[in-house]
């Protein structure tokens, strides 16, 4: 599905898009259908899915005469369920397919459900294109992010790529969209550091929520209180802030416990999936606070959550309870 010298796209006779990255496969299918309808109109596109996507039905459609003008497109979903022997009639139909026809097969694979090698061979024999869309393992995502960034004209080093994964999460489609936003904001040829990515990729509210949790962990009650009041003024709800504070303290408590057991900081750092400087700071804060103090802080946050749900004595307001808890934990 490439563009020729003119603005009109050129199409191969057949495509097979398969793999376990179901989101990316859905995007490819939607894009092909949009291009097909633009090229031939809705009447030039036939779709086989569900019970209709049987090999014999697809073979019959490929062999059928059509009086439609322009290129004919046939889209088939769910071919991961076709067995090796079931592909035989489709292979024969592909070999004698009418010109000006494009057929596209889509297979959303799972560990025990993969596309047959016979269909791959049939598509290639027809002059078609076979492409795998595989999910990237979590530990491979920074390298994947850096490669996709280069395709968009950006340069991200390993720490910058890790920072983007940390802020955006592990969904490849979300990472790709965020890279596209960065490319539009910064322009081609831009080199981004981890600090640049942290500044540009996370919404300001999200950055301040993490800053609040880190200020509590770093035992800076003035900064923590200031950030809490700022977040509340901009509409953040106390239960959400309580959740993120708890998550950060729990992570720090686990790190402190591992340090107490003699685990090297470098080993802990490798498993954090954080930018290097952020990981170093979190480990240092956890060491300074200590596992016991962090556990006490978590108990206070748990009591606060229980109280907010009506399970204990209530403060005059959520804000009063939160400010008291923040001051106590950050001042220890």
Overall domain count for the chain: 3
CATH number of 150's domain: 1.10.8.60
Helix (H, G, I), strand (E, B) or coil at 55: helix
Residue 154 has what pLDDT?
93
Residue 332 has what pLDDT?
67
> C-alpha distances in angstroms, 233 versus 27, 33, 53, 190, 228?
39, 47, 55, 35, 9
CATH number of 116's domain: 3.40.50.300
Q: In 126-220, which ranges are continuous DSSP H helix? A: 141-151, 158-168, 172-186, 194-201, 204-217
Domain end: 181, 201, 221, which one? 201
Phi, psi of 77 (to 5 degrees): -105, 155
Residues 21 and 87 in one domain: yes
Residues contacting residue 84 through CB under 8 Å, at least 6 positions apart: 116, 117, 118
- Nearest-angstrom CA–CA distance, 87 and 96: 15
Q: List residues bridging with 162 in a β-sheet.
A: none
Show the domain range for 11.
Answer: 2-132
Residues 213 and 324 in one domain: yes
Residues 8 and 128 in one domain: yes
H/E run at residue 33? helix 22-40
- Asked if 13 and 93 touch (Cβ cutoff 8 Å), the reply is no
Residue 6 has what pLDDT?
42
Mean pLDDT by 10 residues, the chain (332 residues): 53 94 87 90 91 93 77 94 94 92 95 92 96 86 92 91 82 84 85 82 59 83 86 76 83 93 91 76 90 87 71 58 82 72
Residue 317 has what pLDDT?
65
CATH number of 314's domain: 1.20.272.10
- Nearest-angstrom CA–CA distance, 155 and 191: 5
């Amino acid at each position: 599905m490439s563009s020729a010298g003119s603005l009109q796209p050129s199409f191969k006779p057949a495509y097979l898009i398969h793999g376990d990255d179901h989101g990316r496969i859905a995007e490819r299918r939607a894009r092909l259908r949009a291009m097909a309808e633009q090229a031939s109109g809705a009447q030039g596109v036939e779709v086989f899915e569900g019970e209709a996507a049987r090999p014999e039905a697809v073979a019959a459609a490929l062999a059928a005469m059509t009086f439609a003008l322009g290129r004919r497109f046939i889209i088939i979903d769910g071919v991961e369920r076709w067995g090796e022997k079931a592909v035989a009639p489709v292979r024969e139909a592909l070999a004698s397919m009418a010109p000006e026809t494009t057929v596209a097969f889509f297979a959303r694979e799972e560990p025990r459900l993969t596309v047959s090698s016979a269909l791959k061979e049939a598509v290639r024999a027809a002059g078609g294109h076979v492409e795998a869309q595989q999910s990237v393992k979590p530990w491979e995502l920074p390298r994947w992010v850096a490669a996709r960034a280069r395709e968009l004209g950006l340069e991200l080093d390993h720490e910058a790529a890790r920072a983007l994964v940390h802020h955006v999460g592990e969904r490849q489609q979300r990472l790709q969209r965020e890279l596209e936003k960065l490319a539009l904001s910064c322009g081609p040829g831009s080199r981004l550091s981890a600090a640049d990515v942290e500044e540009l990729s996370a919404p300001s509210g999200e950055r301040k929520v993490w800053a609040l949790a880190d200020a509590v962990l770093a035992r800076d009650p003035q900064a923590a209180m200031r950030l809490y009041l700022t977040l509340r003024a901009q509409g953040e709800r106390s239960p959400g802030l309580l959740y993120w504070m708890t998550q950060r303290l729990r992570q720090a408590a686990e790190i402190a416990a591992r340090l107490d057991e003699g685990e090297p900081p470098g080993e802990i750092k490798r498993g954090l999936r954080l930018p290097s400087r952020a990981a170093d700071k979190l480990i240092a804060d956890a060491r300074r606070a200590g596992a016991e103090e962090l556990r006490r802080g978590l108990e206070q946050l748990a009591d606060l959550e229980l109280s907010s749900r009506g399970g204990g004595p209530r403060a005059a307001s959520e804000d009063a309870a939160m400010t008291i808890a923040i001051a106590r934990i950050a001042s220890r």
